[in-house]
Every structure is written in structure tokens, then in C-alpha cells.
Amino acid sequence: MTWIRACTVQQVPEDEGLRLPTEPPIAVFRVVDEFFATGDSCTHDEFSLAQGYLDGDVVECPLHMAKFCLRTGKVLAPPAFIPLETYPVRRDGDDLFVDVPERPDDL
């Protein structure tokens, strides 16, 4: 795993997500003053979850209403049945870092 600087705290409004230009895409979410990072694509139909609706630590895909837990990636409502990847988030001052998997070409 490799820590990358994802964004600043101010770039992630409360109860919203921010899509990172990683490969594969990762979304950073802010719930009050807690930050979570997951795969950005809904596992049902690959729609951006950064555009989804947050209710506490649950994100709902705006396309077909699948729901996922931001803490664990667990599917909470169909039509999705494959959980999301989750990534550790670290805050350093106003900067947020996400621990992303190394890609084979990075080795």
C-alpha cells in the first residue's frame, strides 16, 4: 500500500463525497469530521458514488439506490451484492492522505 495526498479537508464538504483521479477511482467522503475512502464505482453498475447521497456513514448510489457502509464497504441494500473496497484515511493538518494499493507497474 502507498499513502497518497488525496485532497484538503476543505475540498470535501460535510456529508458529501469527492472523486479522486486515481486508477481505479476512489471517493473520499466526509461525515461530520470523519473521513472515509472507498472505491468510487458502485459495484452494481459502475456509477460514481461520490455523487451519491449520504445518510450518516451510508452512501446510496443515485442510479439504482444500492447502499453501502462507508466504514466497511458492506452492501446494505440491493441491487448491489459485491462490497466496496475501503481504504485507510489519515489527516495531517488540512491534508488528507489515502492508503491505496500499489499497481503492478509501481513495483
SS3 readout for the chain: CEEEEEEEHHHCCCCEEEEECCCCCEEEEEECCEEEEEECECCCCCCEHHHCEEECCEEECCCCCCEEECCCCCEEECCCCCCCCEECEEEECCEEEEEECCCHHHC
Q: Tens of pLDDT along 36-81? A: 999 999 999 989 999 999 999 999 999 999 999 999 999 999 999 9
CATH number for the domain whose boundaries are 15-90: 2.102.10.10
The percentage of residues in the chain with a pLDDT greater than 90, rounded to a whole number, is 89
User: Is this model's pTM higher than 0.85 or not?
Assistant: yes
